[in-house]
């Protein structure tokens, strides 16, 4: 640390020191925009303290990457590239993060991690180049490719280490409080691969457990899922009606999207409902096994067909039915590598917990059907018939 | 606590149990709006984690009021009134809280604590009445009047107890971490007055100290003051130009105000600067004694005159000069009552620290003159001449 | 809470209010003695901050029991009995808690939870009777018997809730930081049985997970196990040689036991080693499957036989060999009851994680053979031969 | 950080990395002894969680010193000397730390910071020399002398930074939670002097405030003072009666001293009282101004004279009276240097708070007279007469 380094006070990691590249990147509009994108989107409707942003999270990921490269003995320019990638890894996120991802993908054909367009076509690219960094290489790192890219996006990445601890701090739910310092201290490279030193099975498991429990209590809470599904439908409308170009849409902040929805006739009701927290309610909430397997993890078009079918049967407007059937989750952490007797092994080969956690994740899975209060009863009956399930939510 | 009470998880107070009145009030639009008003407004431009809202703070104040009335043995209906007042105490805040207060006052002639209009003319009033509460009485309590009103707004109120601890949690600055439980445990009533039990001079002092240190490092940080001054000037323009009615203005959220500023020609530049954090900079930063006393604590009209005078001398547009001379702060906590040898005394009579803290608060005071980068040098010279000071900030 | 209640400040639960029974019990010598028995015994040799005592833990358990009985709507006198049992639940512990349990049992034929003798023959019994409580009933409650006894000792008891959080606070290892408030809020009684309300599978799992991870990193750390095994052998000698009566032994504090060991010739070396942290080292550290099943979970006499056999083969004094083969752990939490569709179910029937955690616990299991440095190499070879294992620890 | 560095988990600073010198020093008996000396001595009789030791505190001070020397750009061998001095700075403490300091000084004529004897005559000296360090130079540093010695013992030393935060963590009293990282970041050297960078008056004040408030609520709590005074009198007896040599006395642990007191006839009663927390009680508790100035800050001999005088008048045994009149406290922090306009200034010259805090410290001062319950009333009257005060404590 040089005595003149700029530091930023963070509620999770205390002081974060900025390298010159970080200072330059923070000054760009794409990074400043992240101050206005909440890290946990609509989770604040359930956990009112969860208002932390992708900006502070990005600083945290940068900080952990800095500590990791010091620890691993990585030198510049690779170290600088890794820190830069950690800092900008979220600039590709649209408003409300993951909750508009699918809509953006449908209209723009890209995933938020593919941030090349941002890197090659923006103030950010210039800032990177001014620091002697190749935007393409940084983008590859953000995507988990290239030397040590898995530190930024992989089974044990610093992204996850930061968000678990940060989400715990801001929701008040302790499950995410992992020992991230021990994870950092345990990192080593084996022939260029990132792995945990021997004796750290429990360390690796703890990260997987933390995410599983945070999924169960925070990330997958039904109120947040309902709000997210409403945002997806509303986003679809403004994109379909060309109220906004997809490229512009992807760069909105949370509140800019809400303003847009408020002004557009077919989405104004959604915006009011989100703002005043008078959301759709659950008509169906079905565990695996209580709904036919063909309804698990539905494609968007099929989802819309089912919504129309249910609406018709219920005698309500199609906009009054939302079907939400996500894919069954996977556990990237279980692919983490760990040194066992001098050789690399996948965590899933070594841990008796991984299978249990996978089963746990599958059990948490739910298919939801949501509707506004007045239509709730009719939608419940219709959805139960169409989806061949008895997993209705009691009125 | 009844087994069926609804609880909300809070990052500061853990679980908060809601009484029926609280549940009803939370369902109203004025309360939900507070989710979109940041507790510390533009402080997040300095402390990136400070994104907590007046919504979660309101829940915290409600929680502390609940504990206090239990502790003091206050029964319903007064207890219910106090809890309700604690919960709604901030609904009168405009966008960005205190930072638009002065502009609203100039155009609406009221202070945010005078929330009668909200209580008598809104969904909130109906909700209160439905719970058997008199909106006028609740409004008086919010204003610190009536039985135990000082619990909600007074020298030792639960508002302060919550915000100090919450702001510490979210900024990462520990100074606000007071022993709020001890404050609560020490409360008692003496002939209807709220006071601290004997032996709690240090307890009372600690709250005063915490606020003084938080002022010095957080609340009064110059970056936040600059952003606040820019918001005030921008607010003035949209109100003056009748872009929005003052009544409507006062009910905007933070982001709704920014959207409004973005759309209006004379304020669009301010909005971009706030959003991208390319703020005005300090030309002058003058401590008391380095600027004539007549420039300490300026009225708004006089401020604008000085701005025009400086701008003219500097040869820049008047909008390129902001003069910011707040009044010298007072310490309401020093009026807190404490039991000494069976009699009530003011803290300031008993504590050797109060005078020191007052002096400290006066020392922290600064007059600022701010300008955009290109005009900075010219404004610096002109302002030094007009304000007869040498307290310029080095380029 | 009455305004006059005595409160004690605790580092984990903040203020703890004492009922009159608690105040009376705390004033007794058996309770004050717990100030000098460390909660985690020799774990402080690994985690230097782990110096918290059974006294503060007892206060914490009392506090959680108080909150639970309030929550469950239990009235006095049962509530008072439950609180009293929670407070005194650990008075039966010998010095260094669990680490001298086996030695005491061998010589006294009782288990620390069987605290009748203490309750019927001491200052504590009088104090209980003076508060209108029946010592026998309190003792039964400590043992998990009688109405709601499982709150104090059962699969979801307040003992566990406190120690997990407290041990995390004091070691710095975050895994124990469970959401104990949510556990408390979720408790209900169904036909007299304690259970968790529906929707709390993850809440229950989290406690089980926390203990599994704390076992792996804290409670079962090999340095603490070695120290514990040394204490057991030393205790055996002073008891065998009648240096101290077993009844007196069981009431010593940690340091009183060390003083005793220091003064006795055959244990002075152990005491020096513990005090100066120059412990025996691992010769063998064998996972299940790497040692024949007949060596898993050895009875004491068999252990001593094996030690003599190994010592003879190694040509060292029998006191230079310690064999440590604990039973494979069980998970009492998996028997916790939870309401599912209105019926009581065991957690293990509902959770996919329980089996994984059980497997995990089995994997953490190790058989250890320990020896002082000079004898280490010889003992390693001899033990490998006698125990038919290759799981030696590299020199 | 080298990948192979040993780390220790600490409840306050998370992971602490050990340099080779630290590893070597920790292995010595004098350092291991500190595991058995409580940091806050008898404060645990008031705050039951305050069982942290001088061992973990020493690790914390070492950690902060390491960070500081990195920050200041100090290289080896000076850096190594500073780290070593930080680690061993407390080895000179007797049992119960400051509470036996006066007794040791009376019989040994030295102060605990004068640790030359330990450094030149022990395992520690050899360990230092084996690491290439000069024990004399390390001892001077512990004493605050020599290059940057004030980092270890001075107005802004790392000792204070650690204990404030650690004592807060373990007592649960938040006042000590200073922003120690900011203090570290603000350190710089000006012509060899340690100072805070400009703009850190509040940072420095916060440390002073923290100590003042911790004094008022924790360090100077009357229960701990009574226990400390009892320890002093008991220590005096075993030293006077040559039960133990002063050199040996000074190296006892807390519990070894208690064992010694228990075995000696004239001190057994004190030991029982301390162990069972049935302490002497306050007969007199006099603020400055309520007792003649000549009784403020009494020398030991004068204290004993007054005790005899009071005992005689009360008709009780002299051992039943303890007079405790400490000197009025000073504030070393107020001498901290801070850069103002490029020049070094003392904090007391720049801060309006220092005078207030000094006054505050003077107000907290109390003269106490303590006696066992049966003699309390007689001692109260006699002491009031002898000390010419009315500041008796109500029965």
Residue-level pLDDT at A163: 97
Q: Is A327 helix (H, G, I), strand (E, B) or coil?
A: coil
Looking up tokens 């358990």 gives C61
What is the gyration radius of the CA atoms in chain D, in angstroms?
Answer: 22
Q: Classify strands A366-371 and B6-10 as parallel, antiparallel or unpaired.
A: unpaired
φ/ψ bin of C41: left (φ > 0), alpha (ψ from -120 to 50), beta (otherwise)? left
Fold classification of A6-219 (topology level): Hypothetical protein af1432 (1.10.3210)
What tokens appear for B334 in the block? 């020093």
Chain B residues with CB inside 8 Å of D204's CB?
none
pLDDT digits (tens, 9 = 90+) for D318-331: 999 999 999 988 77
User: Does C359 contact A363 at a Cβ distance shorter than 8 Å?
Assistant: no
CB contact under 8 A, B49 and A12: yes
**C3 vs B71, higher pLDDT:** B71
For residue C6, the chain B residue with the least C-alpha distance is B185
The answer to whether A388 touches A370, Cβ cutoff 8 Å, is: no
Q: What is the mean pLDDT of residues A357-381?
A: 93
Q: Is the pLDDT of residue D275 over 90?
A: yes
- Average pLDDT score over residue span D151-167: 95
Largest CA distance in chain D: 70
Condensed to tens digits (0 to 9), the pLDDT of residues B210-257 reads 998 999 899 999 999 999 999 999 999 999 999 999 989 999 999 999
Q: Which stretches of chain B sit within 8 Å of chain C by CB?
A: 1, 3, 7, 14-15, 70-73, 181-182, 185, 188
Instruction: Return phi, psi of residue C64, to 5°.
Output: -70, -35
The shortest C-alpha distance from D28 to chain C (Å) reads 7
Q: How far apart are the first and last CA of chain D?
A: 60
Sign of CA dihedral D104, D110, D111, D115: negative
The answer to whether residue A160 scores a pLDDT higher than 90 is: yes
Q: CA C352 → CA A220, A254, C187, distances in Å? A: 18, 37, 22
Give chain B's mean pLDDT: 92
Burial C94-117 (b: 16+ CB within 10 A, else e): bbbbebbbbbbbbbbebebbbbbe
d(CA A249, CA A326): 23
**Reported confidence tier of residue D2, pLDDT bands at 50, 70, 90:** very low
C116 falls in which pLDDT band (50, 70, 90)? low
Question: How confident is the model at residue C200, as a pLDDT?
Answer: 86
User: How sure is the predictor about A108, in pLDDT bands with cuts at 50, 70 and 90?
Assistant: confident
Q: In C109-245, which ranges are continuous DSSP H helix? A: 116-120, 123-130, 135-142, 158-171, 180-186, 201-214, 222-240
- How near does any CA of chain B get to the CA of A44, in Å? 8
Using CA atoms, how far apart are residues D259 and D5, in angstroms rounded to an integer?
A: 39
Beta bridge partners of C367: C286
Taking the CA of residue D339 and the nearest CA in chain A, the distance in Å comes to: 15
Chains that touch A (3 or more CB pairs under 8 A): B, C, D
- CB of C328 within 8 A of CB of C365? yes
Q: Give the gyration radius of chain C's Cα atoms.
A: 22
Helix axes D201-214, B201-214, angle to 10 degrees: 170
Strand runs labelled E in chain D:
6-10, 14-18, 187-190, 193-196, 281-286, 322-324, 337-340, 343-346, 367-371
Both structure tokens of A336: 């983490």
Structure tokens at D262: 């228990």
More confident residue, D281 or D3: D281
How do beta strands D281-286 and D367-371 pair?
A: antiparallel
Nearest to B96 by CA among B326, B271, B324: B271
pLDDT tens digits for B337-379?
888 878 888 888 888 788 888 888 888 899 999 999 999 999 9
B195: which strand partners? Answer: B188
d(CA A233, CA A225): 12
Read off φ and ψ for residue C213, nearest 5 degrees: -70, -35
Exposed, middle or buried: residue A195 (CB in 10 Å: 0-12, 13-18, 19+)? buried
Which tokens go with B151? 């619990």
| Gap between the Cα atoms of B52 and B368, Å rounded | 27
User: Cβ contacts (< 8 Å) between D200 and chain A: which residues?
Assistant: none
Q: Which class in CATH covers the domain with range D6-172?
A: mainly alpha
Q: Is the model's pLDDT at B200 over the cut of 90?
A: no
Distance from CA of B180 to the nearest CA of D (A): 10
Mean per-residue pLDDT over chain C, rounded: 92
Q: What would the two tokens of residue A379 be? A: 């939608």
pLDDT, greater one: B4 or C174: C174
pLDDT greater than 70 at residue A391: yes
Q: Among A334-338, C368-372, D53-57, D227-231, which is the least confidently predicted range?
A: A334-338
Query: What is the average pLDDT across D370-388?
Result: 96
Distance in angstroms (rounded) separating the CA atoms of residues D152 and D86: 6
pLDDT of residue A111: 59
Shortest CA distance from D354: residue in chain B: B356
- DSSP code for B50: -
D interface mutation test: which of A1, A2, A3, A202 has the most D CBs within 10 A? A3
Alpha-carbon separation of residue A80 from A77, A114, A158, A207, D28 (angstroms) = 5, 20, 15, 26, 42
Of the pLDDT bands very low, low, confident and very high (cuts 50, 70, 90), residue B127 is: very high
d(C-alpha C7, C-alpha D194), whole Å: 43
CA of A200 vs chain C CAs: smallest distance (Å): 10
Chain D neighbors of C53, CB-CB under 8 A: 48, 51
Give chain B's contact residues with A (Cβ, < 8 Å).
8-12, 14, 27, 29, 32-33, 35-36, 38, 44-45, 47-53, 55-56, 59, 169-173, 253-256, 258-259, 275-277
Residue of C nearest to A216 (CA): C202
Per mean pLDDT, which range of A109-113, C166-170, C360-364 is the poorest? Answer: A109-113
Q: Would you place residue B2 in the very low, low, confident or very high pLDDT band (cuts 50, 70, 90)?
A: very low
Residue A194 is predicted with a pLDDT of: 93
The residue in chain C having the minimum alpha-carbon distance to the alpha carbon of residue A362 is C352
Dist CA D36 CA C51 (whole Å): 10
The tens digit of pLDDT for each residue in D114-128 reads: 676 667 668 899 999
Tokens (6 digits) for C21: 């029974």
Is the per-residue pLDDT at B11 higher than 80? yes
Q: Taking CB atoms and an 8 Å cutoff, what residues of chain C touch D44?
A: 35
Interface contact D7-A72, CB threshold 8 A: no
Given 3.30.300, 3.30.70, 1.20.1250, 1.10.3470, which CATH number is that of A222-329+363-386?
A: 1.20.1250
Cβ pair B72:C7 closer than 8 A:
no
Question: Rounded to an integer, what distance in angstroms lies between the CA atom of residue B323 and that of residue B368?
Answer: 6
Q: Quickly list H helices, chain A.
A: 20-26, 29-33, 54-72, 78-88, 101-108, 116-120, 123-130, 135-142, 158-171, 180-186, 201-214, 222-240, 246-249, 254-263, 265-275, 300-314, 347-350, 352-364, 376-386
Q: Do C179 and A173 touch (CB under 8 A)?
A: yes
Chain A residues with CB-CB distance to D185 below 8 A: 7, 15
Enumerate residues 6+ apart whose C-beta is below 8 A from B301. Answer: none
CB half-sphere exposure, D31, CA atoms < 13 A: 29
With beta carbons under 8 A apart, name residues in chain B contacting C72: 3
Contacts B353 to D, Cβ<8 Å: 353, 356-357, 359-360
Q: Kindly state the percentage of chain C with pLDDT values over 70.
A: 96
pLDDT level of residue C110 (50, 70, 90 thresholds): low
Interface contact flag, A181 D15, Cβ < 8 Å: yes
- Fold for the domain defined by D280-328+365-395: Alpha-Beta Plaits (3.30.70)
Question: A168, A178, A198, A206: which to substitute to probe chain C, counting the most C Cβ within 10 Å?
Answer: A206
Whole-number pLDDT of residue D354: 83
Are D188 and A70 within 8 A, CB to CB? Answer: no
Q: Which residues of chain B lie closer than 8 angstroms to A276, CB-CB?
A: 29, 32
Question: Are B366 and B286 spatial neighbours (Cβ–Cβ below 8 Å)?
Answer: yes
Mode of pairing for the β-strands spanning A337-340 and A343-346: antiparallel
| Structure token pair of residue D117 | 């004897």
**Residue C120 pLDDT:** 67
Nearest to D225 by CA among D53, D52, D369: D369
Question: Rounded to an integer, what distance in angstroms lies between the CA atom of residue B78 and that of residue C307?
Answer: 74
Could you read off the pLDDT of D85-143 as tens digits, one per residue? 999 999 999 999 999 999 999 998 765 556 766 676 688 999 999 999 999 999 999 99
Report yes or no: B66 and B19 within 8 Å, Cβ to Cβ. Answer: yes
Task: Give the residue extent of every domain in chain D.
Answer: 6-172, 280-328+365-395
Question: Which of D30, D214, D208, D187 minimizes the C-alpha distance to D124?
Answer: D30
Q: What number is the average pLDDT over the span C61-82?
A: 96
Determine what percent of chain B is predicted with pLDDT higher than 90.
Answer: 76
For every residue of D119-131, DSSP letters joined together read HHSSHHHHHHHHT
Q: Do A49 and B277 touch (CB under 8 A)?
A: no
* Length of chain A measured in residues: 395
Among C144, C138, C170, C139, smallest CA distance to C157 is for: C144
Candidates D11, D48, D256; nearest CB to C8: D48
pLDDT given at position C340: 81
- Average pLDDT, whole number, for chain A? 92
Of D236, D374, D238, D243, whose CA–CA distance to D304 is shortest?
Answer: D236
Domain B1-172 carries which CATH code?
1.10.3210.10
The mean per-residue pLDDT over the stretch A98-108 comes to 92
**Short-list D273, D236, D232, D271, CA closest to D255:** D271
Angle at A349 between CA A348 and CA A355, to 5 degrees: 45
């Amino acid at each position: 640390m040089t005595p003149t380094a700029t530091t930023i006070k963070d509620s999770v990691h205390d002081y974060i020191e900025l390298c010159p590249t970080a200072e330059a990147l923070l000054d760009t509009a794409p990074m400043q925009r992240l101050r206005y994108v909440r890290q946990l989107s609509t989770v604040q409707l359930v956990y009112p303290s969860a208002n932390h942003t992708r900006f502070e999270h990005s600083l945290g990921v940068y900080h952990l990457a800095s500590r990791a490269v010091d620890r691993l003995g990585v030198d510049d320019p690779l170290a600088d590239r890794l820190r830069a990638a950690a800092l900008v890894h979220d600039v590709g996120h649209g408003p409300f993060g993951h909750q508009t991802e699918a809509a953006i993908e449908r209209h723009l054909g890209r995933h938020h991690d593919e941030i090349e367009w941002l890197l090659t076509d923006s103030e950010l690219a210039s800032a990177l180049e001014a620091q002697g960094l190749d935007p393409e290489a940084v983008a590859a790192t953000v995507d988990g490719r290239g030397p040590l890219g898995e530190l930024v996006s992989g089974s044990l990445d610093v992204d996850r280490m930061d968000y678990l601890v940060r989400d715990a701090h801001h929701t008040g739910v302790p499950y995410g409080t992992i020992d991230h310092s021990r994870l950092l201290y345990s990192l080593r490279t084996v022939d260029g691969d990132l792995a945990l030193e021997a004796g750290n099975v429990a360390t690796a498991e703890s990260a997987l457990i933390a995410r599983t429990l945070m999924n169960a209590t925070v990330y997958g809470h039904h109120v947040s899922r309902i709000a997210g599904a409403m945002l997806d439908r509303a986003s679809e409308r403004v994109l379909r009606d060309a109220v906004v170009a997809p490229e512009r849409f992807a760069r909105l902040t949370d509140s800019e999207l809400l303003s847009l929805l408020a002004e557009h006739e077919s989405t104004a009701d959604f915006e009011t409902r989100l703002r005043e927290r008078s959301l759709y309610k659950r008509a169906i909430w079905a565990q695996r096994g209580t709904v036919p397997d063909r309804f698990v993890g539905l494609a968007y078009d099929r989802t819309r067909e089912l919504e129309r079918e249910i609406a018709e049967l219920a005698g309500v407007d199609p906009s009054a039915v939302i079907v939400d059937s996500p894919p069954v989750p996977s556990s990237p952490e279980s692919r983490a590598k760990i040194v066992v007797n001098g050789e690399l092994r996948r965590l899933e080969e070594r841990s008796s917990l991984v299978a249990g956690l996978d089963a746990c994740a599958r059990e948490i899975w739910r298919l939801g059907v949501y509707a506004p209060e007045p239509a709730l009863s009719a939608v419940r009956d219709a959805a139960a018939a169409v989806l061949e399930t008895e997993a209705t939510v009691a009125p």
